[in-house]
Amino acid sequence: MSLKLGDVVPNFTQASSMGEINFYDWAGDSWVVLFSHPADYTPVCTTELGEVARLRSEFEKRNVKTLALSVDSVESHLGWIKDIEEVNNVKVDYPILADEDKKVSELYDMIHPNSLNNLTVRTVFIIDPQKKLRLTLTYPASTGRNFAEILRVIDSLQLTDNYSVATPVNWQDGQECVIVPSINDEEAKEKFPKGFNTVKPYLRLTPQPNK
């Protein structure tokens, strides 16, 4: 199954380091970052799982739950978590799915045979409260993921879901936004009382509406 942006992601029930998880029930009304790992006790992933634990408060204030996945067993995960906590000086207080049967990996198309044989590639899925897929990022095994970028994308998605704006290149929370082209200038004057700067007829910049 190849998931596309805007698709409703499939539900699943799978064992994890924190007990059995029914994904839809566990996610509830939260956003979710689901991120996969090729195997336990891998060096790059050890640093990533620690970073996600360190960023717990940043995810929580955005109403985001984090969920990792690896194709090893719960027992293996519990041993690996001890290493992650020691190396990164954190508490891993979010679940790691134990996808031994590769059920979730296949549902979410995480097996790329030309890259990692039958192991999962390192993909990030951002899923909204309606269970729709909003972003995917797939990394090679050798490159650590940038979770500051993942938080930035979540900020953009949550902003643009609620206001008639898009976010320009390298945008950070608090910076100017782009007024979407479907809003004409007259409507823009009403919607954006802080005003806007017309760079080109199709490129109008306005202060971030919720700041």
Contact (Cβ atoms closer than 8 angstroms) between residue 52 and residue 68 = yes
Please give the structure tokens belonging to residue 59. Answer: 């995810």
Active site residue 45: yes
Q: Indicate the pairing of strand 31-36 with strand 197-200.
A: unpaired
Of 45, 121, 124, 126, which is the active-site residue?
Answer: 45
Are residues 11 and 71 part of one domain? yes
Q: Where are the beta strands (DSSP E) in the chain?
A: 13-14, 21-22, 31-36, 64-70, 96-98, 122-127, 133-139, 165-166, 177-179, 197-200, 203-206
Are residues 63 and 32 part of one domain? yes
Q: Give the whole-angstrom CA distance, residue 75 versus residue 194.
A: 55
Are residues 97 and 52 part of one domain? yes
Give the CATH number of the domain where residue 169 resides. 3.30.1020.10
Contact (Cβ atoms closer than 8 angstroms) between residue 37 and residue 120 = yes
Are residues 85 and 29 part of one domain? yes
Are residues 127 and 198 part of one domain? no
What is the tens place of the pLDDT at every residue in 114-142?
Answer: 545 555 567 999 999 999 999 999 888 78
Phi/psi of residue 48, nearest 5 degrees: -65, -45
What is the tens place of the pLDDT at every residue in 48-96?
Answer: 999 999 999 999 999 999 999 998 999 999 999 999 999 999 999 999 9
Alpha helices of 40-172 — where are they, by DSSP H?
Answer: 43-54, 56-61, 74-88, 103-107, 113-116, 147-162
Q: Give the whole-angstrom CA distance, residue 66 versus residue 24.
A: 13
Q: Which amino acid is at 15?
A: A
Give the pLDDT score at 141.
78
Are residues 114 and 25 part of one domain? yes
What is the tens place of the pLDDT at every residue in 148-192?
Answer: 999 999 999 999 999 999 999 999 999 999 999 999 999 999 999
* Model confidence, pTM: 0.92
Domain that holds residue 171: 163-206
Give the pLDDT score at 189.
95
Q: Give the whole-angstrom CA distance, residue 110 versus residue 157.
A: 23
More confident residue, 75 or 110: 75
Give the pLDDT score at 162.
95
Residue that has been written with the tokens 């970052």 in this structure: 33
Q: Confidence class of residue 198 from pLDDT cuts 50, 70 and 90?
A: very high
**Residue-level length of the chain:** 211
- Buried-exposed string 121-158: b where 16+ CB fall within 10 A, e elsewhere: bbbbbbbbeeeebbbeeebebeeebebeebbbbbbbbb
Are residues 120 and 197 part of one domain? no
Closest to 37 in 3D by CA, of 55, 50, 56, 22:
50
